[in-house]
């Protein structure tokens, strides 16, 4: 599996790296081994993990066997986005 970065995702990751130290490698690791994947809008899936006292979210689409990262962001609103186990779309 190859990870494809959009320009927007690269720019957002750089901003979060400055704010919280979220590296490109950390984002790629999350996409490859997410703590949880939840559905987003328009066939987008969101890989997410609880980290930095919040939630790191990486919306992506699957292109063949590859994953294309659309954006990267961190939120403190874990309760809003975290799905209980029985609601998980994909399990690890």
> DSSP of 6-20, one letter per residue?
-HHHHHHHHHHHHHH
Which residues have CB under 8 Å from 75's CB, separation 6+?
54, 55, 57, 81
Q: What is the pLDDT of residue 52?
A: 86
Return the domain boundaries, the chain. Answer: 3-81
The CATH-assigned architecture of domain 3-81 is 2-Layer Sandwich (3.30)
Q: How confident is the model at residue 92 (pLDDT cuts 50, 70, 90)?
A: very low
Higher-confidence position of 52 and 76: 76
Q: What is the pLDDT of residue 18?
A: 96
Q: What is the pLDDT of residues 2-33, one digit of tens each?
A: 999 999 999 999 999 999 999 999 999 999 99
SS3 for 30-85 is: HHHCCCEEEECCCCCEEEEEEECCEEEEEEEEEECCEEEECCCEEECCHHHHCCCH
């Amino acid at each position: 599996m190859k990870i494809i970065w959009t320009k927007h995702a690269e720019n957002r990751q750089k901003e979060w790296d400055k704010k919280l130290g979220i590296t490109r490698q950390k984002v790629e690791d999350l996409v490859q081994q997410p703590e949880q994947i939840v559905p987003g809008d328009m066939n987008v899936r969101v890989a997410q993990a609880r980290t930095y006292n919040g939630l790191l979210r990486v919306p992506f689409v699957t292109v063949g066997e590859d994953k294309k990262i659309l954006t990267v962001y961190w939120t403190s609103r874990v309760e809003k986005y975290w799905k209980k186990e029985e609601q998980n779309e994909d399990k690890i």
